Amino acid sequence: MSSGSDYVRPLAELAVQLGANVQPGQVVLVVSEPGKEPLARAVAEAAYERGAKFVDMYVFDIYFKRARVLHAAPDTLDYVPPWLGAQVLALGEHRAASIALSGPVAPHLMDDLDPALVGKDMLPWLKQIPEVVEARTTNWTGIPCPTDDWAALVHPGLEPGEALARLWRKVAHMCRVDEPDAVAAWRSRLDQLVEVAGKLDALALDALRYYGPGTDLTVGLFPSSRWQTVRFSTVGGIEHVANIPTEEVFTTPDPERVNGVARATKPLFTSGAVVSGLQVRFEDGRAVAIDAEQGAATLQTLAAHDAGAARLGEVALVDRASRIGAMDTVFFDTLIDENAASHIALGHGYANAVDDDDRERMNTSGIHIDFMIGSNELAVTGLTRDGGEIPLLLAGAWQLERAI
């Protein structure tokens, strides 16, 4: 196993069978980038073998974005041609499936550009994506796709071939395709996460309190905030797993009741830039100060995108039993890193986690940016409506057996 090529086919099959759960006769979109062709093609093949009617591909090229930021008129950088959003809506209308291949490509390509300009171009993010997610009309998933670029970022000290092979081994392990039956392994893990979510729901918490080095944050919850896993199902009843790997339970918080300071415990990679050493201070729900050692301007620009961009749309808890957390590796890919540690997200909330009344109060935005605040040093406590405090996570371990 030198290049990871033995894992390509199993990972593609997992994405098609368990992730998107592609149905016979469905149209499938593969969202990819240059350099990800081997996995993209394996996904297409696995989807057709499972009976897909048509497999389309959307390719985003970060080099096009660099040329745009360098040369286009700054006041046009937020322009999006309408057919991109129309395609997303059409996927919903057609009850299509979607499989996105994550993992940074050319991660330092924007380093010499003005982060404020980089952040104005939100693509490949589109405001129609959360609309279709909320409508639950597509069965979708995201999976990691190792590339040479990404391997060099995660393992800069290794020779390129060895870096790629090591990243593939880690991705295969976290995606459980090194198991004899990856689908069965995931069903078991997802059952556990669903059980944790049920226990958290039973606590009927009013708020969460995060306390650790650089972090002292309280996040209010709605009365109807329900804890979720990414084991989703569509309006038509197709069960899908919205990302693989997944180790989180999450819900939609009250965007007006967030106070304190949160220090990110891992870098995040967004809009073509690495943001590291991030610290965010919240007052009455709003992020009023965003500081970072690197990439602050990118996140500041994103947080100014619209009225909801500086407020929270998600809180997620991850215990250290996760295979990703155990690796103690920064992957510079939100899909993976958010599943290594507890995190919060600026921007759009997940509407299906709250009831109709609270849905009108949940945060709405054109962005959704996760950042990781969890660590072994972070304690997460649940605050009940009657003033009680219940330990949820201590030293990265669930305290729920004691709590219930």
Q: Is 74 in the site for its own copies (CB under 8 A)?
A: no
Q: Output the CA–CA distances (angstroms, integers) from residue 35 to 47, 151, 172, 256, in the order listed.
A: 20, 12, 18, 42
- When asked if residue 73 is in the footprint of its own copies (CB under 8 A), the reply is yes
Q: Is 190 in the site for its own copies (CB under 8 A)?
A: no
For the CB of residue 65, give the shortest distance to its own copies in the complex, in Å. Answer: 9
Residues 392, 217 contacting (CB under 8 angstroms): no
Q: Which residue, among 250, 254, 264, has the nearest Cα to 311 in the 3D structure?
A: 254
Q: Which of 23, 37, 214, 216 binds its own copies (CB under 8 A)?
A: 37
Residues in 85-114 at the binding interface with its own copies, rule: CB under 8 A? 86-87, 90-91, 94
Separation between Cα atoms, residue 285 and residue 321, nearest integer Å: 31
- Give the range of 44-52, 202-210, 278-286, 325-333 binding its own copies by CB under 8 A: 44-52
Using rule CB under 8 A, residue 57 touches its own copies: yes
CA distance to 331, 356, 366, 378, 384, per residue, from 336 (Å)? 7, 31, 22, 19, 31
| Cα dihedral across residues 196, 187, 331, 31: positive or negative | negative
- In this chain, which of 16, 31, 52, 340 binds its own copies, going by CB under 8 A? 52
Comparing CB distances to its own copies, the nearer of 66 and 311 is 66
Q: Among 1, 84, 326, 404, which residue interacts with its own copies (rule: CB under 8 A)? A: 84
- Nearer to its own copies by Cβ, of 31 and 197: the residue is 31
Burial of 291 (0-12, 13-18, 19+ CB in 10 A): middle
Q: How far apart are CA 349 and CA 4, in angstroms?
A: 36
Q: Does 179 bind its own copies (CB under 8 A)?
A: no
Q: Is 135 in the site for its own copies (CB under 8 A)?
A: no
Task: Supply the minimum distance, in Å, between the C-beta of residue 38 and its own copies.
Answer: 9
Nearer to its own copies, 56 or 148 (CB): 56
# of chain residues touching its own copies (CB under 8 A): 40
**CA 182 centroid distance within chain:** 21
Q: Three-state SS across 281-348?
A: EEECCEEEEEECCECHHHHHHHHCCCCCCCCEEEEEEECCCCHHHHHCCCCCCHHHHCCCCCEEEEEC
Nearer to its own copies, 128 or 300 (CB): 128
* Closest to its own copies by CB, 57 or 390: 57
- Provide the binding-site residues for its own copies, judged by CB under 8 A: 27, 30, 34, 37, 40-41, 44-45, 48-49, 51-57, 59-61, 63-64, 67-68, 70-73, 76, 79-84, 86-87, 90-91, 94
